[in-house]
Amino acid sequence: MLVRAATDWTPRPGSLAEPRATSGPRPITCLNEFTYKRGETIFGESEPAEYVYHVKKGAARRCKQLSGGRRQVVAFHLPGDVFGLENGDVHRFAAEAIVETTVQLIERQSLEAVGESDAATGNLLSMANDNLRHAENHLLLLGRKNSMERVAAFLLEMDERITAARVVSLPMSRRDIADYLGVTLETVSRAISQLHRSGVLDFPSNNQKELVILDRAQLASFDLQG
**Per residue in 52-67, pLDDT tens?**
999 999 999 999 888 7
Domain 147-221 is found in CATH 1.10.10.10: yes
Residue 23 confidence (pLDDT): 44
Q: Is the pLDDT of residue 109 over 80?
A: no
Stronger pLDDT, 19 or 170, i.e. the higher one: 170
Instruction: Give the whole-angstrom CA distance, residue 107 versus residue 91.
Output: 15
Position 161 pLDDT exceeds 50? yes
Q: Measured between alpha carbons, how far is residue 195 from residues 62, 84, 132, 159 in Å?
A: 27, 34, 29, 15
pLDDT value, residue 122: 56
C-alpha span between 31 and 69 (Å, rounded): 35
Domain with CATH 1.10.10.10 in the chain: 147-221
Q: Which residues in the chain are classed under CATH 2.60.120.10? A: 8-135
CA-CA distance, 99 to 61, in Å (whole number)? 10
- What architecture is domain 8-135? Sandwich (2.60)
Q: CA 154 → CA 44, 77, 123, 174, 220, distances in Å? A: 25, 14, 26, 12, 10
